[in-house]
Structure 1
Amino acid sequence: MPSSVKSNRHSLDIKSNVELEEFAPERDLILERYEIIREKSPEELREIEKSLVRKLDWKFLPMVTAMLLMNYLDRINVSNARLAGMQEDLGMNDTQWSAGISLFYVGYIISQIPANVIVAKESPRYLLPACMLAWSTVTICMPAVTAGWGFILCRFLIGLVEGPFVPAVSLMTSSWYTKNESPLRMSIWHAGNTISQALSGLLAAGILDNMEGLASLRAWKWFLLLEGIVSILVALVSFWFIPNFPDSTGTYFLTEEELAMAQYRQMISAGGLSEDDSGGHWDGFWKAMKDPFSHLFAGIHFSLIIAQSYKDFFPSIVKTLGFNNNITYLIQAPPPVIAFLVTLGISWSSGRVLEHGFHIIGPILVTLVGAVVMITTLNVGARYFAMILLVLGPFAGLSVQISWETTVVPRPRTKRAALIAYANCVSSISHWFTPYFFLTNQEPYYQTGGGAIIAGCGLTVIFALMTKWYCAKKNKALKAAEDANGEPEGWRYAG
């Protein structure tokens, strides 16, 4: 963090060849906007910043991680419920089941852009918990479903209320953490994605194998009921741990000095541009649509989600190893846990060196190898190792990609919100067709699904390289403008 006072050393060449050293304070014009902290010493500013980050790391970050864990768990719970007989009980064939998976993403896409733009202007402190309460309520209602159409309707409604959540958390993370800090923090809350996959298998082993017939309910119904109840409890607790934005959060969450520091840090990270948003709700959306970065990041996100298309069918893929249901549930856990640990390291490195493109390309090429192994061998050890590789690339890539887009397009907030939601919407379109690549008649190799994963990996590499090239082009233009005006080097696009 730049200090409020810097020491400038000027060497003055006098006729007597005596060098005099002049020390003069350099004014920090950004810091001077914040009256409550502008007179603080560098040491005091560092202490305020440490206190701010510590509160964010121990209040906001764990809360959104828990909420996202439940969010992703809710999204994939039907995968294990399918193994426990849900599809057969509802009289659905493979095409109808895949339609239910796809319809979730229809609702998911419809709500994202308008909801995230509204969140950027309004109060995420209340809107995020409200979304969670809504999807949890629908989940609790799912055990009452008796036919395929009810399953499809519930999945659509869950998608509709879940849609705003991940883009809103991405927006908030980029509003509170600096561009160096956000990759690691995004990978931590994105762990909800990876850990939910592991937790889903463990819960399935505990519930689906032990609660069959309890109170005359099928085990898969208990699975959905218990998950929905826990999700409601987490939503209620979250009202006390979710802030608004740095310019609209009261002292219920941070002190006045910490709030001023949060705004100051964001301005420094964005090259002196304020987080304050002006204009109407949709002004930022149209700005995002005119920016080539929006479409490049949408391309990366779309490709990464195709590479992750195995996710809704991961239990079925693991089942091809030939173990019984209980072991199948349990051995789902290690791949996402390993992917989470690797993702933490990759995201930390990305934030430290402010490089994103190659931090996406490296892991996704590993996933490409995993897909090739999956579709070419039935060797149990090789296939299980391939499943670890499948999980690793998309999770690491998504964490870095979300941080990249919010770093490159920092202001205004509604534009950033629209970009995040737009990229997420475009990526979600893949869910309309990829579920049809993992039908039961494709077992055990799932060659069509594996081919889709390979294509997604290749497209990710292409779009990441294109985005790095465009960043370099924009930086070259900034450098030329600075040289022409005799200005020092300023803010740059992080590739």
Structure 2
Amino acid sequence: MTHPERSKGSDIETSKTVLESTGKDARRSDQLLTHFPILQGKSAEELETLNRTVLRKLDWQFLPCVTMMLLMSYLDRINVSNARLAGMQSDLHMSDTVWSAGISLFYVGYIISQVPANVLIARGKPSIIFPSLMLVWSAVTICMPALSSGWAFCLCRFLVGFAEGPFVPAVSLLTSSWYTKKESPLRMGIWHAGNIISNVFSSLLAAAILTNMNGIADLRAWQWFILLEGIVSILVAVMAFWFIPNFPNNTSRQWFTEEEAAMAQYRQVVSAGGVLEDDGEVNAWGGVLLAIKDPFTALFSAIHFSLIIAQSFKDFFPSIVDTLGFNEVVTYLIQAPPYVIAYVATLVISWSSGRTLDHCWHIVGPILVSLAGAVLMISTLNTSARYFSLVLLCTGPFVGLNIQISWETTVVPRPRTKRAALIAIANCVSSVSHWFTPYFFLRSQEPRYQTGGGIIIAGCGLSIIFCVVTRWWCIRKNKLLDKVEAETGEVTDWRYAT
């Protein structure tokens, strides 16, 4: 198949750098610039300067803020895992079944709020909604040290989940609305790594607080642990009101000048193959309907569901580490290294994914590593081998989740409400796994956790299968686009990333 010859002038080369795209001719660039009169007439150097300014502001203001918010949200979510080791479960007289029910109820609230809230955020002001949501879940967290029964624990977990539910999908939506498809994987890797680093901080804080603060002010150590995390979370939420933007078309001028806002939109138009963010815009629930009808929603939901199953060990990681037989302080401290390694792996592999625009194999590779870790965990009682298995176990799901989120926002870029609905639906479907996976990690199966290891292996296998199927579907869609080009002679800039 042949395509019309494309211009290679210096202005076009600079435009390629600014827009992080290839194959754009001068006429095409001019056509896109007509949507942004304020940018017309600017030289290639001026456009490049604007591009760097927009990216710098995002990287140094928005990105650190959402990373800190994600870190605190995950800390508030997983703090009960280490609190359990410090006696929270026994103090509240909860059986394993009640404890697992509390873990599961978090995800009931988490699922209920996601789709409507994410669609609302897509048409609203994230700069206000994001910090407000964080204030709500932080307030509930601060109330948890006052608990005295299992049912109260379950209620608080439900409320925290309800407030946190919209957060990760909405941050994914906002990131994909500001960064190009080549920039997104690494940036999503940075803020999504808050999921990983939260486990590092949680273990280090547990070592400091749970072993030294028991009995202070007549509070148990686990009460101090949850209370202090909740207070810090509130401080971060208040700070976020000054650092979270809205979307490129409606963000405050305290963030970007008119020219910078136009460049932010221009970058997104080119990244999406020349389609404006508002092109084909529908009402809120119309976007949900579009997402439901799109086969990609089912495919990415299946991938996300499988990856969460593969990550089901996370809520029980401290308990698994406890079976290695070390003392209390060492048990807390050695939880950190596997997550540090997973953090580095996430950044490196996400950077590679963005550079190559490959997603499938960048997920499959790390998942195979985790599968090997699960097999090793249930196959031996050797302490060193079991600890190494935990390092392998942590790597794959965190990397896979980050790249999967970037993949779905790259493949379905428009309209915004559809993208918001797809992200939320996929996250909702995946969260269903949290209703049943906690029941596979029971203390009666320590130290091997054979059933838990089996469910991790199943999740890894399903993740690989669904990634390959999704890649095949993307290739099929690209072949249809090639066929249309050959028949009509019209060259399109859009292709489905695999």
Q: TM-score, normalised by structure 1?
A: 0.95
SS in 2 for 1:207: helix
Contact residue 5 and residue 28 of structure 1 kept, 8 A: no
Letter in 2 for 1:34: F
Question: Map of 1:119-138 to 2, 5 A cutoff?
Answer: 119-138=121-140
Shift in Å, 1:255: 1.5
Higher share in helix: 2
Q: Distance in 2 between matches of 1:389 and 1:44?
A: 47
Question: Map of 1:373-384 to 2, 5 A cutoff?
Answer: 373-384=376-387
Shift in Å, 1:195: 0.3
Alignment partner, residue 110 of structure 1: 112
Q: 1:339 to 1:432 in 2, by over 3 A?
A: same
Q: Distance in 2 between matches of 1:169 and 1:25?
A: 34
Alignment partner, residue 16 of structure 2: none
Alignment partner, residue 307 of structure 2: 304
Shift in Å, 1:3: 9.2
Larger radius of gyration: 1
Q: 1:408 to 1:143 in 2, by over 3 A?
A: same
Alignment partner, residue 217 of structure 2: 215
Shift in Å, 1:4: 10
Residue among 364, 368, 371 paired with 2:367: 364
Does 1:393 pair with 2:396?
A: yes
SS in 2 for 1:49: helix
Shift in Å, 1:484: 0.3
Encode CA deviations 1:15-44: one digit per residue, 9 max, x unaligned: xxxxxxxxx963620112211112111111
Identity %: 68
Question: Map of 1:450-465 to 2, 5 A cutoff?
Answer: 450-465=453-468
Alignment partner, residue 182 of structure 1: 184
Alignment partner, residue 280 of structure 1: 283
Q: Distance in 1 between matches of 2:287 and 2:361?
A: 29
Contact residue 373 and residue 392 of structure 2 kept, 8 A: yes
Does 1:154 pair with 2:156?
A: yes
Report how many residues are paired: 478
Shift in Å, 1:6: 3.6
Alignment partner, residue 20 of structure 2: none
SS in 1 for 2:233: helix
Q: 1:349 to 1:145 in 2, by over 3 A?
A: same
Shift in Å, 1:87: 0.2
Contact residue 3 and residue 42 of structure 1 kept, 8 A: no
Shift in Å, 1:250: 1.9
Q: Distance in 2 between matches of 1:97 and 1:202?
A: 23
Does 1:332 pair with 2:335?
A: yes
Q: Distance in 1 between matches of 2:141 and 2:252?
A: 33
Letter in 2 for 1:186: M
Q: Distance in 2 between matches of 1:392 and 1:328?
A: 20
Residue among 96, 99, 106 paired with 1:97: 99
Q: Distance in 2 between matches of 1:25 and 1:123?
A: 35
Contact residue 274 and residue 493 of structure 2 kept, 8 A: no
Letter in 1 for 2:495: R
Q: Distance in 1 between matches of 2:489 and 2:424?
A: 38
Shift in Å, 1:5: 4.7
SS in 1 for 2:143: helix
Q: Distance in 1 between matches of 2:351 and 2:11?
A: 29
Q: TM-score, normalised by structure 2?
A: 0.94
Encode CA deviations 1:7-66: one digit per residue, 9 max, x unaligned: 9xxxxxxxxxxxxxxxx9636201122111121111111111001100000000000000
Q: 1:167 to 1:313 in 2, by over 3 A?
A: same
Alignment partner, residue 52 of structure 1: 54
Letter in 2 for 1:384: Y
Shift in Å, 1:213: 0.1
Letter in 2 for 1:185: R
Q: Distance in 1 between matches of 2:135 and 2:321?
A: 32
SS in 2 for 1:33: coil
Question: Map of 1:460-479 to 2, 5 A cutoff?
Answer: 460-479=463-482
Letter in 1 for 2:155: L
Structure 2: runs of 5+ lacking an equivalent: 1-7, 14-24
Q: Distance in 2 between matches of 1:38 and 1:3?
A: 18
Shift in Å, 1:434: 0.2
Q: Distance in 2 between matches of 1:354 and 1:57?
A: 20
Q: 1:446 to 1:321 in 2, by over 3 A?
A: same
Letter in 2 for 1:248: N
Alignment partner, residue 294 of structure 2: 291
Contact residue 4 and residue 41 of structure 1 kept, 8 A: no
Q: Distance in 2 between matches of 1:233 and 1:25?
A: 49
Question: Map of 1:441-452 to 2, 5 A cutoff?
Answer: 441-452=444-455
Q: Distance in 2 between matches of 1:122 and 1:481?
A: 37
Q: 1:3 to 1:138 in 2, by over 3 A?
A: farther
Alignment partner, residue 12 of structure 1: none
Does 1:422 pair with 2:432?
A: no
Q: Distance in 1 between matches of 2:32 and 2:109?
A: 43
Q: Distance in 1 between matches of 2:434 and 2:444?
A: 19
Shift in Å, 1:462: 0.4
Q: Distance in 2 between matches of 1:115 and 1:184?
A: 26
Q: Distance in 1 between matches of 2:328 and 2:168?
A: 31
Runs of 4+ in 1 over 2 A off after TM superposition: 2-7, 24-27, 276-279
Does 1:238 pair with 2:240?
A: yes
SS in 2 for 1:375: helix
Q: Distance in 1 between matches of 2:157 and 2:328?
A: 25
Q: 1:25 to 1:330 in 2, by over 3 A?
A: closer
Shift in Å, 1:488: 2.5
Shift in Å, 1:489: 4.8
Q: Distance in 2 between matches of 1:437 and 1:216?
A: 35
Q: Distance in 2 between matches of 1:36 and 1:489?
A: 26
Residue among 482, 485, 488 paired with 1:482: 485
Alignment partner, residue 66 of structure 1: 68
Shift in Å, 1:331: 0.5
SS in 2 for 1:494: coil
Letter in 2 for 1:417: A
Structure 1: runs of 5+ lacking an equivalent: 8-23
Q: Distance in 2 between matches of 1:64 and 1:250?
A: 18
